[in-house]
Amino acid sequence: MKPKGLAAFVIAFVAAAPIAALAQGATAPNPPLAPLQEPAKTLPAPYADISPQMQAFIAKPLNPDWNDQWKTGAEARAYADKQAAGVVPTIPGMLSRLHVTMTSTSMGGVHVYVLTPADMPPENKDKVLIHVHGGCYVLFPGESGATEGIMMAGFAHYKVISVDYRMPPEAYFPTALDDAVTVYKEVLKTTKPKDVAFFGTSAGGALTLEMVLRARQDGLPLPGAIAPGTPMSDVTKTGDSFYTNEKVDNVLVSRSGFCHAATLIYAKGHDLSDPLLSPVYGDMHGFPPAILTTGTRDLLLSNTVRVHRKLLRSGVPAILEVFEGESHAQYQFDDTVPETREAFTEIGAFFGQYLGH
């Protein structure tokens, strides 16, 4: 019987592939691949297995500031200060709900917030998590950058040190990384490296990976585990989801939007393919075990997937957590959302599996 429909298409496709390869010859260059032309379509908000609170985030319109094209550090800081003014008043309530205390101090000359949960099991008392906040390297100054650290302390029950790294217009690449590694060096004075983890989201996810690369460059022992959340691992705008999720992700929205503009400010002319800006291009052999988090509508889904795949190919134990329907970093927008508790509880359990061993 002659195959029909989909079966015929698959048979023809598979049969044609080796013939096409042979026709090219061993030395023939690969021709440019034709882009897929996708007509405009309507995407319904997903509802299956998603809490009503997260549904509300997923259904929001596009970030109205998505195409802000800041040119200077001062412009970015003006926006960051305005944004921070809306975040800081929410922090006391979050600290109260999650039973976490926050202390402002400095380590090695770097400003940090020490976040201590009221409930810390004995096995966590000698462990320290170093948090590097997100915000495209220019957003969330001061207390406003500590919210993810508060959630980790509260849900996972670890002591967290949140690094308030310097940002434009006061400082540019690689100051954020310098500050984070300085804090790590200070932590190592009192804590074994196997008892330390790095974590952060977005630019913080990239910094998490960059900290490992820099620690290895500097001859420092590596931490016991890392959790790069939806990392900005390739700021050259390379990756499938930069295109498939453009104007689907309602947070970042576009590969050429505000976050790219902010990164250019931070990089200040530095090569964007440098692994200390695009860590997916770094050597990941010998990296600590890693857990990565993203969502199906995340503009940086491919950034996250590519890091996960590179870690596995480098022989590193790595887990990829993908949340249904979520845009960039929405798993850590609100501590009262069930998916937020899930994300941080899972990361905490991962740290429990590897820290101290």
The answer to whether residue 111 scores a pLDDT higher than 90 is yes
Q: pLDDT at position 17, please?
A: 45
| Torsion, Cα of 305, 334, 56, 203 (10° steps) | -30
pLDDT digits (tens, 9 = 90+) for 157-180: 999 999 999 999 999 999 999 999
For residue 137, pLDDT beyond 50? yes
The predicted structure's pLDDT at residue 262: 98
Percent with pLDDT over 90 in the chain: 87
pLDDT of 7 higher than 90: no
What average pLDDT does range 100-120 have in this prediction?
98
Query: What confidence category does residue 29 fall into, taking pLDDT thresholds of 50, 70 and 90?
Result: low
Residue 21 has pLDDT above 90, yes or no: no
Residue 251 is predicted with a pLDDT of 98
Average pLDDT value for residue range 57-64: 97
Q: Which residues contact 329 (CB under 8 A, 6 or more apart)?
A: 134, 201, 202, 229, 230, 251, 298
pLDDT of residue 79: 98
Write out pLDDT tens, residues 215-229.
Answer: 999 999 999 999 999
What average pLDDT score do residues 72-84 get? 98
Q: Does 40 or 253 have the greater pLDDT score?
A: 253
Beta bridge partners of 130: 161, 198
Contact criterion met (CB below 8 Å) for 160 and 129: yes
Lowest mean pLDDT among 13-27, 181-195, 315-329: 13-27
- The answer to whether residue 26 scores a pLDDT higher than 70 is no
Which two tokens mark 13? 């496709």
Q: pLDDT tens digit string along 291-344? A: 999 999 999 999 999 999 999 999 999 999 999 999 999 999 999 999 999 999
Confidence at 5, pLDDT banded by 50, 70, 90: low
Highest mean pLDDT among 33-37, 45-49, 274-278: 274-278
256-267 pLDDT, tens per residue?
A: 999 999 999 999
Per-residue confidence at 211, pLDDT binned at 50, 70, 90? very high
pLDDT for position 20: 43
Distance between CA atoms of 34 and 32, rounded to whole angstroms?
6
- Of the listed ranges 7-11, 182-186, 195-199, the least confidently predicted one is 7-11
What pLDDT does 11 receive? 41
Q: Is-cis flag, bond preceding 169, omega within 30?
A: yes
Q: How confident is the model at residue 3, as a pLDDT?
A: 52
Q: Is the pLDDT of residue 231 over 60?
A: yes
- pLDDT score recorded for residue 37: 86
What pLDDT sits at residue 41? Answer: 83
Query: How many whole angstroms separate alpha carbon 319 and alpha carbon 4?
Result: 40
The reported pLDDT for the residue numbered 229 is 98
Q: What is the mean pLDDT of residues 250-259?
A: 98
CA distance linking residue 210 with residue 314, whole number of Å? 16
Residue-wise DSSP of 45-81: PP-TT--HHHHHHHTSPPPTTTT----SHHHHHHHHH
